[in-house]
Amino acid sequence: MGLILVGLGVWLLSGRELRISAPRVERGGSERTFVSMYLFGVSYATASLSCTLGPFLVALTPTFRARARSPGLPPSSPTPSEWAWWSVW
């Protein structure tokens, strides 16, 4: 795969064009109906979730380890007795 990308880079740097047969999509819609705005919002939310769900799960999953002090909190979080000790200071 790397060799293909290097070859493609050399091809493009030499001044040639890459012609790909892809469908053309109209730029923007002319309708401003409730249905079109709703569908835009649904598609935007879906794209946003698909981008953020992975990093969110990577950050959240370690907090639910079996040996955690309480589920949902990081293992290094203080216990209630430690909170009480720190509140004295």
Whole-number pLDDT of residue 78: 60
Residue numbers of the domain that contains 38: 33-64
Longest dimension (CA), the chain: 72
In a domain, 48, yes or no: yes
Q: How many domains does the chain have?
A: 1
In a domain, 78, yes or no: no
CA distance 60 to 70: 13
Nearest to 77 by CA among 88, 67, 54, 53: 67
CA distance 21 to 16: 16
In a domain, 53, yes or no: yes
Give 10-residue mean pLDDT values along the chain (89 residues): 92 89 71 85 90 84 63 59 55
In a domain, 73, yes or no: no
Whole-number pLDDT of residue 39: 86
